[in-house]
Structure 1
Amino acid sequence: MFFYAARRLLSGLVLALLVTLITYLLLAPSFDGIVSSRLGMGATPESIRTAKAELGMDRPLLVQYLEWLSHAVRGDLGSSFFSGETVGHTVSQRLSVTMSIVVVTLLLSVVLSVTLGVLAAWRGGRVDRIVQVVSLTGHLIPNLLFAIALVYVLAIQLELLPATGFTPLSEDPVAWMKSIVIPTLALLIASVAGLTAQVRGTMIDELRKDYVRTLRTRGIPMRSIVLRHALRNAGGPALTVLSFEFIAMLGGALIIEQVFAIPGFGSYAFEASLQGDVPIIMGITLFAVLLVVVVNLAVDLLNGWLNPKARVL
């Protein structure tokens, strides 16, 4: 297991290296425009060249990237071109805001999806049809439309929750919970729809296998068969889909945070992209890739624990 984990981690780090390099190369053609925007309306060709020299943008791209990488591995992601704020500290703060929403959504998604998927596969009939309708509805309704409906009902009509804004958990746990309810529900519906369909499909396949019939003939209760045997064997594909759902939630956070004025990772990335703030964009890219690598590694390790055959030695 150790060598399996080390190999997966190494491949993830190589991926992070390639993604950040490609990102830097894609940003390079816009360096003149970025420097011009930083200097303002009075920018001249001479002042742009001077500013690029001060920022180190006049050197070969590979040299620039390697210098950024050498600082990044030491934890120094530089400072914003426009605000001067420290990138590493600010990105980690913004990421904690987003993760406070995404982690809650992910946990709720797992509980609801596994419950609905297992019930649909086990009970069948009317329960299965209801679950399929719920799953299909979640696929059809866009997150943004669902979010607007929730704001109208819960925030405007009933006045139970704030329509926008975010309160840190450390300041007021109750206010924090209220501030993330609507964004969480907006992200939750699509995640539950996709994961429920996967759990239902894999559970149906497992319950049709010979070992289930064998266990039933031995008098083992169906509840025990479903929860102790079939669910564990069906967990691998569901975990893979869950990792995809996590990545989708990070992407959905970009829209949700803009709609609800949440100072999170997605909105920070959007603002930095509009400005062309290279240090922030590179920092956000690095954090995002490493986060995906960690999640995929955790999923691979869980898959290896559930099914030793999945380990690549």
Structure 2
Amino acid sequence: MSGAFRQITVTSDPEKSYFLRVDWSGDLGAGFTLVLSDGGTSAWIGEVSEDEVTAEIRDMGVDRDRYVEDLRSALTGSGAGRGGVAKREEAGYSYHLPPDRTRLSYRKICKDISVDLGSVELQAVPDPAEVSRQMIGQSLRRNTDLESENDKLREENDRLQREHQRIVRELQQRVEEKESMERELYSRFVMVLNEKKAKIRGLQDTIQHLQHSSQDSTDTDRHSDGEMMTEVGRGSTASLQESTLLLTGRSLPCVGETIADTEDVNKSPRRKRRVRRSPETCELE
């Protein structure tokens, strides 16, 4: 069983305050009872059944949840918003009580538009003082419950604040550790990178040195091969001249002499010998 207590004013007597107590089971759509008091001299009681609520919803042609929310805001001063969070309704509500105090009607006013939410038939209570005492006692118990709930909420809030501070400290510590780790990793990366660069430079120097050494060795080999070919050529020429001298008794022409000059030299003695033989031949004849 749930209940709520609030203070209202009626349009027929705006200078006077009334106290409204509403009790229900489940939600207001399942029906409710209310007690209206003027502060001690008079009190009235009324009841609205679930069928009456359903008929009102059908006549208005609205959604049941929306109607129950508006009804709760009108009778208790609080409404269940989205996610089950209670909130004050932005719209206003008005209450009308006729002079005979036989019916209490309640309306929703939103942007100068008045919507009738329903009414409840009232019956006078024989002992208004007892009703007032009960309402005062219920109000005090409700106040005690609200204070206890407020204390719990305050403790929960303190706990959440401590938890929040702890999480913030841990987050700051994690951030500092992360920054420290990043600096360490960056320094290691720079060190490894410098080592790799030095190694690459060393390998490049080694390659260049090997290339120069290979080129110098190639030039030396070419020079040695040239000298060797020259010596071999000279040795071959000398051997050929010696062989010719042994066979013909004459040496090969020196470098620079042509074959024609050699032939001329060889032919000249023959002519001389022929000339020398010619007189002898003449004498014999």
Q: Which has the larger radius of gyration?
A: 2
Q: Which has the higher contact order (CA 8 A, sep 6+)?
A: 1
Which structure has more strand as a fraction of its residues? Answer: 2
Q: TM-score range by the shorter chain?
A: under 0.3
- What TM-score, normalized to structure 2? 0.18
- What TM-score, normalized to structure 1? 0.17
